[in-house]
Chain A
């Protein structure tokens, strides 16, 4: 079958690939483009490990067809650091010991980023709600919730 061209920006950089029609964005990112930060946990939209941001919206890349992303702006966890400096969420996850095996971490950080983009000073309930689509096996969630709240506080301090 003929390959399908797709073109979108990934973390600000232009990407163009020929893919099989029906290829998921997760597969295209990991196996064609080489950005392995989104993880394939369940491949059916129930675990959240593959979460990415498409045009500012939270999306499950395992349920998104790559060919629907033409012209879109895709953001993954690997695009968050700037000039070797970690994003405030990445720093907060490290400091709070909010990651163990690390498999859920990129999806958690993407979910938290969209939350903080829209709600810079979230309540604990806001954070719980924002993370409710992401499954973690190791941490018991509490360190992750604390990391997101800490990142929000450090963002607002830096904004002053």
Chain B
């Protein structure tokens, strides 16, 4: 009986969004009279930072500072249609819709500015700080604040835009069953080091080293935050979490947070995160969906590390001490 050490590796591809009959998200963008911009969505911010990312995308597209954009995700009754925040689709689908809406709003904004400056709209550019300038003659400029006032009170224009992003439904080919469930994949690889006590079956994750390829990280700190939390959750799925430990027998399920186990602050593996950015062809500014993907590779990596440590393949999650001990017993020569 001993503490045995093992190392496991796993790599995954993970689709961004899903496709069960078409996958649409729509967005609306409009300016207030003072030249701030409102993005209206039905996509929900679960805490992953959807509002911040959509504000960044809108601001980048229109050419204003991010703090000039307000994102309203208040109500699916009144907002433009969104399939929802799930399947790692939020940034990709809603982001593309916001870009389209913001481009249309930007075009109206430039048209109003062109009338004020008596130039052609195609000769105008934004400075990213709230002003519209004549290309090559930046001394001729107008603030977006004044453009919005003009549009609202003088010219009777609505600086607004409509955005729509739809991944059309993909039908399987009759002969082969081949289809295109997603247009965009994120990737990850994890190496996990564990110690397994072959007397108690207890697993301790010592280190977990993750590389994530997530397209362009639109907000690197928020991406890092999500990946660190996701890596923890992957270990939690691998070793702790279940509502039905003896499924299909429903006995002994956890009834509350005391019995639904997750690693606490004292059970943390030393965690390393590396982000690779390979911009996606159809993502907003090259983004993919890192959300669900980031909690996946740890699970097979830990299972492989347990095999490396004590030579048993556990193919049912979570990898509990009981399952390891039963597997060791089944493997032992009588």
Q: Which residues of A contact B (CB under 8 A)?
A: 41-42, 44, 46-47, 97, 99-103, 127-129, 131-132, 135, 137-145
Contacts and interface: CB of A to CB of B under 8 A. Distances in A.
B285 interface: no
Interface stretch (B121-129, B144-152, B223-231): B223-231
Contact of B231 (A44, A137, A140): A140
Contacts, number: 62
Given A139-B225, A139-B229, A142-B228, A42 B265 contact: no
Chain A's interface: helix, strand, loop or mixed, by majority?
loop
Nearest to B49: A100
A110 to B, nearest CB: 15
Contact of A131 (B229, B258, B265): B265
B271 interface: yes
Interface of B: 46-49, 221-222, 224-226, 228-233, 256-258, 262, 264-266, 268, 271
A146 to B, nearest CB: 10
A135 B231 contact: no
B47 A97 contact: no
Contact of B268 (A103, A129, A140): A140
A128 B265 contact: yes
Contacts of B233: 137, 140
Contacts of A144: 265
A132 B264 CA distance: 7
Given A97-B222, A97-B225, A137-B233, 17 more contacts: A42-B256, A42-B257, A44-B256, A46-B256, A47-B257, A97-B221, A100-B229, A102-B47, A127-B265, A128-B266, A139-B228, A139-B232, A140-B228, A140-B232, A141-B264, A143-B225, A145-B265
A141 B268 contact: yes
A135 B224 contact: no
Contacts of B268: 140-142
A137 B222 CA distance: 16
B262 A135 contact: yes
A159 B232 CA distance: 35
B233 to A, nearest CB: 7
